[in-house]
Structure 1
Amino acid sequence: MSKIQVNKLHTLTGHNDCIYALTEGTDPRFFYTGAGDGMVVEWDLDQPDDGKLIAKLPHSVYALEVDKERNLLFIGHNFEGIHVIDLNENKEIWSIKFTDQAIFDIKIFGSEAFIGTGDGILTIIDIPNQSLKKRVKLSSKSIRVMSISPNNLHLALGLSDNSIKVLDLRNDYQPIANLSGHEKSVFGLTYSPDEKTLVSGSRDARLKFWNVSDYALDETIVAHMYAINYLSFKEDGKYMVSCSMDKSIKVWDVEERKLLKVIDKARNAGHGTSINKVLWSSYSGQVVSVSDDRTISIWQIEEN
């Protein structure tokens, strides 16, 4: 089994409240964070100490997503809607006010933006026309997280009703599967890079591995002490990181479904409070994590 070496490279500060949102730029050297202070900041992994303020909004930002085809940053503005920033010009070019709910996740595929909100509604935005295309009511509980399988054209959604719903992007968002098994809200959800596995993480502290061919449950792992907040695969699909309310990041061997490394305050001078998002950057093997402690950590994670 591989030995994993962890080196903390940077601790970044500047946000004045819990950091909830994290996404990679069109150029993966850059990443974006959003927080309870309404600030959205661009960071450069080559010069990480110099964050650049992109937007300042009156309400918390829980969701960010970059439209890499058009180099646009979509900001989920709680209780309002979305703001769209042209990253070439660094200015807002349009916005749509369509909800009085919290926006928990945004995903972009082709010419559509998918937005999951606290009232269990999936809102689909037509990006070129800057217009609301469709609303799909999935639950009375929040849509917390989404993941897209581009080759299968599947959209998976994790909800606070403890379920995972899979919709068909080929066929007008019709349901393909309704996965049950988690005992609490599903906060973490991601397709593996080869799109053969869907991994979910929940407030029940369990990881579940689902076989995408039939969405059968392959394995359940008691993975953390408290809620699993987010999951991110390394680009090659060999490893995955999970982050938790238990203040730890865990590195997993995906094929073996084995824990390889725990990153926390005691061992690695990690975060002191809940870790809300984690991103395995496709830029030089670094992992970015954001926390309720208002800091961003950058980690080098390598095989020995």
Structure 2
Amino acid sequence: MLEHVKSLSGHQNPVYALTNSGKPGIFFTAGNDKGVVEWSLDKMNYVKVLMPVKTSVYSLEHYNNQLFVGLRSGEISIFDLDKQLVTANFQAHEKPVFDVVAVPGKQEFLTASEDGTVGVWSLVDHSLLYRIPVSADTVRSIAISPDGQQVAFACKDTTVKIYNLKDYGLLHTLQKHTLPVTSVQYEPSGKYLVTGGRDAQLNFWSMPDYQLKHTIPAHMFSIYGIAFNPVRPYFATASQDKSIKIWGTEDLKLHKIVSIEKGTQGHTHSINKIIWTRDGEYLISTGDDKLVIVWDWEI
């Protein structure tokens, strides 16, 4: 179901950020070694260092052939992949930026920060439109609902906040995790929201009423990544416990564990980020062991 293809080296420090590009077979990574790197799945190697950065990178987002880079300094840099240069750099927050997500339907993008706020920015001129005081502490992760009507924020204060994307009004505060919420994703068809926390639990919330329906003790330590396969009824989770797990989207059952402790190849330290390629054929993972690992979907 998930087979190791190659472990890619090149980063000199932990890797925190990972995103697909608009081109098949190209993806980007960044972390604590002050550079954003472009990789090729065709060559199974790095292509080049796209841009240097002054501080660690915690988040990457690709939209319209632009790469949005969220920095530990609280800055956002925007790299134009056509022009191959940085076209904007500005102070978005007073503290680190942990997530960046584009909202194309509104020509906006969102930034989540350790300062507890979410910035709402124009995709056209990068001006600040709103600043939402979401939490008294870190906002770690952002997810947009499949219908584009709502947005979920995972917070360090153990809550998940649901806002209306139209006017950014607060709709729900979800409280079930006992420790900070570190990851959040909507199921692609809109059936439920899934959240993962430092308590190692996966919580499943029904849509559209956000009622808690299931809780799974999914990992041993913090869950840092939740990624739904775009073409198959499965999703992956990744954790500080160095494992990747594959679950059924419909039955929520565990189908595969990838971990060096289970005798497979894998990460030797915390896994910080996972994504599927847009065709669903590969899962890519990054972690504190400085590696980028490519996994192939095997029937």
TM-score by length of structure 2 reads: 0.96
- Paired position in structure 2 for 1:118: 114
1:192 equivalent in structure 2: 187
Query: Amino acid of the residue matched to residue 220 of structure 1?
Result: T
1:96 to 90, 101, 105: 90
Q: Identify the residue that residue 170 of structure 2 maps to in structure 1.
A: 175
Assess if the C-alpha contact under 8 Å between 1:29 and 1:283 holds in 2.
no
Q: Conserved in 1, the CA contact under 8 Å of 2:28 and 2:36?
A: yes
Choose from 228, 246, 251 the match for 2:223.
Answer: 228
Question: Could you say if the C-alpha distance between residues 51 and 264 of structure 1 is closer, same or farther in structure 2, counting changes exceeding 3 Å?
Answer: farther
Select the residue among 47, 58, 62 that pairs with 1:62: 58
TM-score (norm 1): 0.94
Q: In the TM superposition, what are the counterparts of 1:7-156 in structure 2 within 5 Å?
A: 7-67=3-63, 70-110=64-104, 111-156=107-152
1:14-39 C-alpha deviation (Å, 9 max, x unpaired): 11110000111112421111101121
Give the distance between the partners of 2:31 and 2:148, measured in 1 at CA. 33
Q: Where in structure 1 do 4 or more consecutive aligned residues deviate above 3 Å? A: none
Alignment counterpart, residue 273 of structure 1, candidates 261, 269, 274: 269
Which amino acid in 2 is paired with 1:49? N
Q: SS at the partner of 1:105?
A: strand
CA contact (8 A) 2:27 2:38 kept: yes
SS at match of 1:268: coil
Shift of 1:92: 0.6
Q: Which runs of 5 or more structure 1 residues have no equivalent in the other structure?
A: none
How many Å apart are 1:59 and its aligned residue?
Answer: 0.6
Q: Is the 8 A contact 2:97 2:113 kept in 1?
A: yes
Whole-angstrom distance in 2 between the partners of 1:144 and 1:115: 10
TM-superposed CA distance for 1:57, in Å, is 0.8
Is 2:237 aligned against 1:242?
Answer: yes
CA RMSD of aligned residues (A): 1.2
Q: Could you list the runs of 5+ residues in structure 2 that have no partner in the other structure?
A: none
CA contact (8 A) 1:193 1:237 kept: no
C-alpha distance in 1 between matches for 2:221 and 2:212: 22
| Deviation, structure 1 residue 264 | 0.8
The one-letter code matched in structure 1 to 2:170 is P
Q: CA deviation at 1:242?
A: 0.3
1:99 Cα deviation from its structure 2 partner: 2.1
TM-aligned CA deviation for residue 100 of structure 1: 2.6
Contact 2:94/2:115 (<8 A) preserved: no
Deviation, structure 1 residue 98 = 2.8
Aligned-residue offset at 1:237: 5.3
CA contact (8 A) 2:121 2:128 kept: yes
1:202 corresponds to which residue? 197
User: Comparing 103-112 with 229-238, which one deviates more in the overlay?
Assistant: 229-238
Q: Which residue of 2 aligns with 1:257?
A: 252
Q: Deviations over 1:177-220 (max 9, x none)?
A: 11110011111111111122111110000001111210011100
Deviation track 1:38-80 (CA, whole Å, cap 9, x = no partner) reads 211111111121332111111100000011xx21100002124
Please give the alpha-carbon distance, in whole angstroms, between the structure 1 residues aligned to 2:173 and 2:214.
Answer: 17
Q: How far apart are residue 146 of structure 1 and its match?
A: 0.6
Against the structure 1 CA distance between its residues 283 and 152, is the aligned structure 2 distance closer, same or farther, given a 3 Å change threshold? closer
1: CA distance, partners of 2:46 / 2:274: 20
Letter of the 2:140 partner, please give it: R
Quote the residue 1:293 is aligned against: 289
Please say which of residues 202-211 and 87-96 is displaced more in the overlay: 87-96
Q: Matches of 2:232 and 2:119 in 1, distance apart?
A: 30
Identity %: 33
The amino acid that maps onto 2:224 is: N
**Deviation for aligned residue 1:238:** 0.6
